[in-house]
Amino acid sequence: MTDRDRSGTYNPFEDTGDWPFRESVPPPPVQPPGPPAGPDAPFDLEQHEVEEHDVDLEPAAPFRLDELRPEPVEEPEPEPVVASEAEPEPEPEPEPVVPDEVDEDAAVSLPDVEPAEPAPVESLPVEPLPVEPLPVEPLPVEPLPVAAEASEQPEEHAPGELEIPEGPEVLEGAPNGFRRTVAVVVSRFNADVTNRLLESALDALTDAHVTLESITVVPVPGAFELPLAAMALAKTRRFSCVVALGCVIRGETPHFDYVAGEAASGLQLAAIETGVPVSFGLLTCETKAQAEARVGRGADAARAALEMADLFTQVRTRAARTG
């Protein structure tokens, strides 16, 4: 006889010897406390609603002790986390130590001590280290183009000599200075050039057998005065020819054009009005270098004047014979 039979109640923890193979019996329904059910029982609203709507309120099956429990699932061990090297925390700066306030009355006055002068430190001589010069290779230098020489410059005039066919009579003068008197008019302006023009002209006259006593040199201020002096000398009829020498170099103003043009036309007018040959030995250049390269034109002007004087003599002689 079990404890259940004795007491009339269910004991789930009763040791019957057949656990866990015995089936557990559900416990008997427990009567709720209160008055018994019957026609005389009070109206139960909840029970009335359950019956009205026919709702199944059967309780769930009781828990059976003989049911097998699920085996516990082993959770995987978490991987160890390697902590990254943390930056070292900066050390806190030490707080400045503030000295305690000193009582001026309790302070002990110390005698004034002069600071000792530092001992002079002798500087040791420093010897400079020997520095070896690095080898420097000379850079290749390309030769600059050589400027063309004066002889290689393009010629200003067409070379050659005049060829006269046979048959017609030819009257041609020659630069012959025998028994002739010559007047030379030269400007003082640009004297560096006109001095050399005069020298070359005198050399050409002496080479043509003109004596120095037969030459008259007349200096004038500039090229603009050359025509006036040449005309005055030609009108005297004392000279076989007149040689005009001067130099005009172009500047920043149009002064060059006026002087050069008037001098050229005035010298031509003097020769036409007087009938005396007047040679044109006036240089009209852009630069001084061009003028210096043409100082030999003084000799050309002297020979041209002698040739024209000889030609005029032949013309007058022929006219007198045939007249």
Q: Catalytic site residues?
A: 255
Cis omega (within 30 of 0) on the bond before 20? yes
User: Which two structure tokens, joined as six digits, stand for 8?
Assistant: 């009339």
Helix segments in the chain, DSSP class H: 3-7, 45-53, 191-207, 226-235, 255-274, 288-292, 297-322
Report how far residue 191's alpha carbon sits from residue 245's, in angstroms, rounded to the nearest whole number.
Answer: 11
- From the number of C-beta atoms within 10 Å of its C-beta (0-12, 13-18, 19+), residue 220 rates as buried
User: Which two structure tokens, joined as six digits, stand for 63?
Assistant: 């828990």
Report how far residue 96's alpha carbon sits from residue 308's, in angstroms, rounded to the nearest whole number.
Answer: 118
Phi and psi of 281, rounded to 5°?
A: -110, 35
The answer to whether the beta carbons of residues 248 and 213 sit under 8 Å apart is: no
**Residue 308, C-beta contacts closer than 8 angstroms, at least 6 positions apart:** 173, 241, 277, 279
Report how far residue 282's alpha carbon sits from residue 185's, in angstroms, rounded to the nearest whole number.
Answer: 11
Report how far residue 313's alpha carbon sits from residue 323's, in angstroms, rounded to the nearest whole number.
Answer: 15
